[in-house]
């Protein structure tokens, strides 16, 4: 049970980092990365 909790905590932290990076890229739409806003929306629904 503890191992599962540790794994979920690690996965949550990893997802938060990916979400943060995606949100940073979304601030700069002039970079031409058009798929990241969709990725950000999916990440938000996955985390919450």
Domain boundaries, the chain: 2-47
Q: Which residue has the higher pLDDT, 14 or 46?
A: 14
CB-CB neighbours of 11 under 10 Å: 10
Binned at pLDDT 50, 70 and 90, residue 6 comes out as: confident
Q: For residues 21-44, give the mean pLDDT.
A: 53
Number of neighbouring beta carbons within 10 Å of residue 22:
20
Q: Please state, in angstroms and as integers, the Cα–Cα distance from residue 6 to each residue in 3, 9, 44, following that order.
A: 5, 5, 21
Sorting pLDDT into bands at 50, 70 and 90, what band is 19? low
Cβ neighbours of residue 6 closer than 8 Å, sequence gap 6 or more: none
Question: Residue 3: pLDDT above 60?
Answer: yes
**pTM for this structure?**
0.26
* Mean pLDDT, range 23-40, rounded to an integer: 53
């Amino acid at each position: 049970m503890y191992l599962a909790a540790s794994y979920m905590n690690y996965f949550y932290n990893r997802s938060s980092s990916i979400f943060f990076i995606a949100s940073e890229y979304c601030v700069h739409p002039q970079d031409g990365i058009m798929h990241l806003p969709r990725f950000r929306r999916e990440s938000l629904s996955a985390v919450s």
